[in-house]
Structure 1
Amino acid sequence: MTNWKIWVGIGVLTFLFGLLALGNAVVASLAITIMLGTLFAIAGVAQLWAGFSGAVHDNRIFALLWGLLSLLIGVSFIANPVEGTVSLTMVVTGFLLASGVIRLLMAWRMRESRLFWTLLLSGAVTVFLAGYIMSDFAAISLSLLGILLGVELLVDGAGLVGFGLFLRAHR
């Protein structure tokens, strides 16, 4: 697709959706949870079908258990999106903390390098962010996923507009 107008149009729409997500981060977070719940439920049904139909010969019991677990998580997220959003926020916070600690450890191991500070700074900011989320979890938990989605859509939209303008300039 080399039509630059399409890329700019998609970028503008993506940017606008980012603004909408940031405008009501709680609704965006709940939408993410319901969408993820739907995907978990579909995956669970597919896994159960594969286990019962004999499509999975090895570890059939694990396929059935995994399918049942996925289905239950999906139904739980759909039926209780607020609790699901809080659970997902806990998972995201845990990943942020683990990622930051790993980067700090990597920076410590490469401290002889002149550029170790990039990993050190990156890890420190990520650990700080996870700590900030944990310090006020009740206030942040329902809006964090929507904020992250909004920021991601803003950045992607700007990038797509830039790509479209690049294509226009280099036709």
Structure 2
Amino acid sequence: MRNWIVLLVVGILALILGLIALANPFAASVTATLFVGWSFIFMGGFQIFAAFGSASTGAKIAGVLIGLLAMIIGVHIVAEPLQGLLSLTLVSGILFLVSGVFKASFGLFNFKGTARLAMLLSAVVSIVLGVMVLSNFPQSAAVLLGVLLAVELLSNGISAIALAFAVRDLSKTEDGAASAA
């Protein structure tokens, strides 16, 4: 990718949106919830469409039912974003805990040395996050998804900016090598 300016602009926009989300985590949480709801609706529609391409009748029926379920969940989340926010926060807390337990067991039984330490550290972070979310539920619902969205946007922004400068420098090096040849 030679157009490093596009990456730079994307990175700067992600940083700005991340800062906005961090400044107002409740609005960012509701926005993330609505995004998830609409994603369920669209993915459910795609699942239903794809189901008709299945070879067997059973696969078609299962695909349509799964698609309808996803669409119903999406419509519910979009229609009641605050209830959806509570549900998504509860699921996030549970996923943090489950992820932490799996990482801990995987790290203990499959790695040695530094890799084991890194896996166990990651497991502890996930478990602590899960406990924090669930011990403060439902109050944590007001900000959790917004803060997670803000952190993701900030992280993506920083990476995109770093990548933009790396691409720019690589382009300069390649241009210099091409003109020397």
Shorter-chain-normalised TM-score: which range? 0.7 to 0.9
Partner residue in 1 for 2:113: 114
Give the gaps of 5 or more residues in structure 1: none
SS at match of 1:141: helix
Q: Deviations over 1:119-143 (max 9, x none)?
A: 1211112111111111111221121
C-alpha change, 1:71 and 1:128, in structure 2 (3 Å) is same
Q: Is the 8 A contact 2:89 2:133 kept in 1?
A: no
Deviation at 1:110, TM superposition (A): 4.4
Partner residue in 1 for 2:164: 164
Give the 5 Å matches for 1:1-171. Answer: 1-48=1-48, 54-58=52-56, 59=58, 60-110=60-110, 113-115=112-114, 116-170=116-170, 171=172
Deviation at 1:49, TM superposition (A): 5.0
Q: Deviations over 1:42-100 (max 9, x none)?
A: 2333444555xx54342232123212211210110110001111111112212111111
Percent identity of the aligned residues?
33
TM-score under structure 1 length normalisation: 0.88
Rounded to whole Å, the distance in 2 between the matches of 1:39 and 1:149 is 15
Give the gaps of 5 or more residues in structure 2: 173-181
Deviation at 1:34, TM superposition (A): 1.3
Deviation at 1:169, TM superposition (A): 2.5
**Equivalenced residues, count:** 168
Rounded to whole Å, the distance in 2 between the matches of 1:10 and 1:160 is 7
Rounded to whole Å, the distance in 1 between the matches of 2:118 and 2:47 is 42
Letter in 1 for 2:84: G
Rounded to whole Å, the distance in 1 between the matches of 2:82 and 2:44 is 21
Rounded to whole Å, the distance in 2 between the matches of 1:2 and 1:55 is 39
Letter in 1 for 2:100: G
SS at match of 1:2: coil
TM-score under structure 2 length normalisation: 0.84
